[in-house]
Amino acid sequence: MVHFLKDYPTYFEWLTEQCRSLKVPLVNGIQGKTSYRLSQTIAGEIEKLGALPFSQFMHHALYEPGLGYYSAGSHKLGEGGDFVTAPELSPLFAQTLAKSFIKVFEQSEAQVLELGAGSGTFAVELMKELEVKNSLPQHYYILEVSADLKQRQRQAIEQSIPHLASRFIWLDHLPRQFSGVIFANEVADALPVDLVRKQKNQLQKAHVKLDDSGYRLSWQETESIQEVNPYLKQWPHGYMTEHHLQTEFWLEGLVESLSKGAIILFDYGYSADEYYESHRTHGTLQCYYQQHKHHSPLLLPGLQDITASVNFSQIAYIAHKLGAEIVGYCEQALFLMSSGIEQQAAKLAESLGSDTMAQVKISQQLKKLLMPDEMGENCKVLVASKNCTVQLQGFALSNKLHRL
The Cα–Cα gap between 127 and 140 comes to 9
* CA 321 to the chain's CA centroid: 23
Q: Is the pLDDT at 80 greater than 60, yes or no?
A: no
pLDDT tens-digit map of 99-150: 999 999 999 999 999 999 999 999 999 999 999 999 999 999 999 988 888 9
Residue 251 located in a structural domain: no
Give the burial class of 105: count Cβ atoms within 10 A of its Cβ; 0-12 exposed, 13-18 middle, 19 or more buried.
Answer: buried
Distance between CA 3 and CA 149 in Å, rounded? 34
What's the number of domains the chain is made of? 2
Q: Is the pLDDT of residue 225 over 60?
A: no
Question: What pLDDT is stored for residue 366 in this prediction?
Answer: 81
Task: Give backbone dihedrals phi and psi of 63, rounded to 5 degrees, phi first.
Answer: -125, 5
CA distances from 94 to 90, 272, 334 (A): 8, 28, 15
User: Are residue 199 and residue 186 in the same domain, yes or no?
Assistant: no
CB distance 328 to 386 below 8 Å: no
Per-residue pLDDT at 178? 98
Query: Does residue 7 sit within a domain?
Result: yes
Same domain, 39 and 108: no
Asked if residue 57 is part of any domain, the answer here is: yes
> DSSP letters of 275-333?
HT-TT-TB-S-EEEETTEEES-TTSSTTTSEEE--EEHHHHHHHHHHTT-EEEEEEEHH
Q: Using the predicted structure, report yes or no on whether residue 228 has a pLDDT greater than 90.
A: no
Confidence band, pLDDT 50/70/90 cuts, at residue 73: low
Helix locations, 73-120, DSSP H? 86-89, 91-105
Q: pLDDT band at residue 363, thresholds of 50, 70 and 90?
A: confident
pLDDT at 290: 86
Burial of 166 (0-12, 13-18, 19+ CB in 10 A): exposed
Query: How many angstroms separate the Cα of 379 from the Cα of each of 218, 237, 245?
Result: 32, 29, 21
- Residue 131 maps to which CATH number? 3.40.50.12710
pLDDT higher than 80, residue 75 = no
Burial of 377 (0-12, 13-18, 19+ CB in 10 A): middle
* pLDDT on residue 358: 73
What was the pLDDT predicted at 372?
80
Is the pLDDT assigned to residue 338 strictly greater than 60? yes
- Same domain (yes/no): 179, 127: yes
Residue 49's pLDDT is 93
Residue 316 within a domain:
no
Which pLDDT score is estimated for 222?
82
Residues 93 and 49 in one domain: no
SS3 content of the chain, % helix, strand, coil (to 5): 45, 25, 30
Co-location of 69 and 200 in the same domain: yes
Give the Cα separation of 179 and 392 in Å (integer).
18
- Judged on CB neighbours under 10 Å (0-12, 13-18, 19+), 316 is buried
End-to-end CA distance of the chain: 48
| Range(s) of the domain holding residue 219 | 3-76+195-246+275-307
- Give per-residue pLDDT as tens, 170-203: 999 999 999 999 999 999 999 999 999 999 878 8
Contact 307, 62 (CB under 8 A): no
Q: Name the strand (E) or helix (H) holding 22.
A: helix 8-22
Residues 203 and 119 in one domain: no
94 and 181 co-located in one domain: yes
- pLDDT > 70? residue 162: yes
- The CA–CA distances, whole Å, from 159 to 92, 121, 138, 318 equal 20, 11, 20, 40
Torsion region of 241: left, alpha or beta (phi above 0 gives left; psi -120 to 50 gives alpha) = beta
The answer as to whether 268 is a domain residue is no
Q: Average pLDDT of the chain?
A: 91
> Residue 257 falls within a domain, yes or no?
no
Decide if 81 is inside a domain. Answer: no
> Is residue 28 domain-shared with residue 46, that is, in the same domain?
yes
218 touches 209 (CB < 8 A): yes
Query: Mapping DSSP to helix (H, G, I), strand (E, B) and coil, where does residue 180 land?
Result: strand
pLDDT of amino acid 362: 82
172 and 207, same domain (yes or no): no
pLDDT in tens, 1-50: 688 899 999 999 999 999 999 999 999 999 999 999 999 999 999 999 99
**Percentage with pLDDT > 90 across the chain:** 76
Residue 269: inside a domain: no
Beta bridge partners of 178: 258
Domain check: are 33 and 54 in the same one?
yes
- Residue 74, pLDDT score: 56
Give the chain's radius of gyration (CA, Å).
Answer: 22
Whether 376 has a pLDDT exceeding 90, the answer reads: no
Banded model confidence at residue 83, pLDDT cuts 50, 70, 90: low
Residues 303 and 344 in one domain: no
- The predicted model gives 333-349 an average pLDDT of 90
Q: In this prediction, what percent of the chain has a pLDDT beyond 70?
A: 94
Q: Examine the domain organization and report whether 34 and 131 are in the same domain.
A: no
Instruction: Give the least confident one: 251-260, 284-293, 341-350, 357-366.
Output: 357-366
